[in-house]
Amino acid sequence: MSILKRLLGRRDYHEVDVVSREPVGKFRVEKILKVLNRQVLVGEVTKGLIYPGYKVKGKSVSPIMKIERNHQRVDFAVAGDRVALMLEHEVPCEEGEELEIYRS
């Protein structure tokens, strides 16, 4: 990884791996935003339990940095919650797509 990427906090997609074999949850994307140069996915947890540090898997993989519900930071989200997930890296996805969540 180059020094510039390291200073800016950017990493290549292939540097993040999924550790667990089975997904612990699913997340349906309703809206995709950019906040402070980070990707934020707004949507609903359709299955399971999600914590910061877990990984979102679509066409690539990214750790979840922060979870917010009603503009307040929360420690976790359960099925049925409508939340915003701030990701460490950008995950190419579309509105309406269902992404898998894996334990770190």
* pTM, full prediction: 0.80
Model pLDDT, residue 99: 96
Low-confidence ranges of the chain (pLDDT < 50): 13-14
Residue with tokens 């770190």: 104
CATH number of 3-102: 2.40.30.10
Best CA proximity match to 83, nearest among 71, 97, 100, 99: 71
Neighbours of 42 (CB within 10 A): 15
Give the number of other CB atoms < 10 A from CB of residue 20. 12
Domain boundaries, the chain: 3-102
Q: Encoding tokens for residue 29? A: 């994307």
Q: How far apart are CA 103 and CA 48, in angstroms?
A: 11
Tokens 């200073």 sit at which residue?
7
Q: What is the pLDDT of residues 69-85, one digit of tens each?
A: 999 999 999 999 999 99
Q: What is the pLDDT of residue 15?
A: 55
Q: How much is the pLDDT for 3?
A: 59
